[in-house]
Amino acid sequence: MLWKKGICELADLISKGEVKPSEIVEAFAERFEETEEKIKAYITPTYEKAYNLAKKLDEKRPCGKLFGIPVAVKDNIVIKGERTTCASKILENFVSPYDATVIEKLKKEGALFLGKTNMDEFAMGSSTEYSAFFPTKNPWDTERVPGGSSGGSAAATAVMSAPIALGSDTGGSIRQPASFCGVIGIKPTYGRVSRYGLVAFASSLDQIGAFGRRTEDIALILEVISGYDEKDSTCANVKVPPYREEIKRDTKGIRIGLPTEFFEFDLQQEIKESFYSFVKELEKIGCKIEEISLPHVRYAIPAYYIIAPAEASSNLARYDGVKYGYRTKNYKNLSEMYAKTRDEGFGAEVKRRIMLGTFTLSAGYYDAYYLKAMKVRKLVYDDFLKAFKRVDVIACPTTPTLPFKLGERLENPIEMYLSDVFTVPVNLAGLPAISIPVNWVKGLPVGAQLIGKPWDEATLLKLSFVWEQIYPHYEKLPNL
């Protein structure tokens, strides 16, 4: 079955002339029809458009690393001529007039787009329940959440209605849903991938990354989307390694640090046991394991929930009903139009974070909150750099719990925020990290997170690739 194959395998079949792009898109469209009603991964499916473009490619000679390969895209990354809603009522009918840089790069390599995937509104959430349209369900148990905010991309990759998907990660929005859905999810170093065309949530934390089932596929897509872009002032001019070659290098002697502070958090026993079994396997293949300390990591969540909402309140000020997006129908004057548009257009969680951010940036509170949080951020970053003098990679569970039930944490935002306790420090420090499936407990996936030195995605991918040989997790498929 074509939909069971990874993108490297599919690209190889196309280049040999054994399969046509239209046949690949057709296979994934059929898979979408079988699964979508049960999991609701897409806001705007575009399989028909992809098929029509694929038919044109059938007649052409293959060129480009992703010629005829279908990709799903999180609905906060703009594609020219397509709806980009950010899962919000305020952008429900917004059609982008331009392509994000990552989309341009994918198009240049011949990729096709299967649709825009569901997410928490403006990427604010850890369960994809905060979408203004509908919640996405976990493919392994449809009564549970797929994680968030990139839950649609993770779920689509898990059920193989797309072979690969783009997501964004501000505090764990790729790694946490990857763990909950049993797929690989990578967040590159901040500045590795251009953010131009990614709808901003928190500009100093957001980063585009990818979901896939095989390490080689992740390596390929990362090669394509990475690299300098003058349209994004935070995008670094750092050479992009040939990731697909790098993953096959030896992993013997890689030093892996286990942060003692991470194991002081409230961890489910099944997560702890699965993680330590994974670490033992890494030891068997020649990795060196040692304990390390990240003393300030316990302050990461409070610091993050000052910095991220502060940046969000500034970034989301542009949605006022004047230039584009939703506008309220009944208003007497401009001020009332602003207020009613934002009140009707934004969901509860987005409003909560805008208010939090506006408060922490207001006169008299800036130094007490935002400035102090930025100092904590520097301490967290310094802790990581100090640890990386002793080790090459830091390992920990991706999430403290198994996927929780739909509705279980909606009444308790703090409990929801703590889903990202292991992922948030990585964004504060701007480091690369990957979540890989290491076990299934009671039919639910468990992920482990590997955190790398700045610009060293290659070592993370190497470890992911070698783990895949020991534990071929990509062979597991949810039974829908």
* Catalytic (active-site) positions: 74, 149, 173
- Find all residues with CB under 8 Å of 348, minimum gap 6, and list them: 130
Q: Rg for the chain (alpha carbons), in Å?
A: 21
What burial class does residue 55 get, using C-beta atoms within 10 Å of its C-beta: 0-12 exposed, 13-18 middle, 19+ buried? middle
d(Cα 242, Cα 400) in Å, to the nearest integer? 33
Instruction: Fill in the amino acid letter for 97.
Output: P
Instruction: Fill in the amino acid letter for 383.
Output: D
**Token pair in block for residue 440:** 């299934």
Residue spans of beta strands (DSSP E) within 293-443: 393-397, 433-441
d(Cα 248, Cα 403) in Å, to the nearest integer? 32
d(Cα 478, Cα 480) in Å, to the nearest integer? 6
d(Cα 196, Cα 78) in Å, to the nearest integer? 9
Strand duo 184-187 + 207-212: pairing: antiparallel
Alpha helix segments (H runs only) across 117-229: 151-159, 175-181, 215-225
Strand duo 42-45 + 164-169: pairing: unpaired
Query: What is the separation of C-alpha 245 from the centre of its chain, rounded to a whole number of angstroms?
Result: 24
**Collapsed DSSP state (helix, strand, coil) of residue 193:** strand
Neighbours of 276 (CB within 10 A): 14
Largest Cα separation within the chain, whole Å, is: 71
d(Cα 367, Cα 49) in Å, to the nearest integer? 51
Phi/psi of residue 412, nearest 5 degrees: -130, 85
Instruction: Fill in the amino acid letter for 254.
Output: I
**Token pair in block for residue 332:** 């007497």
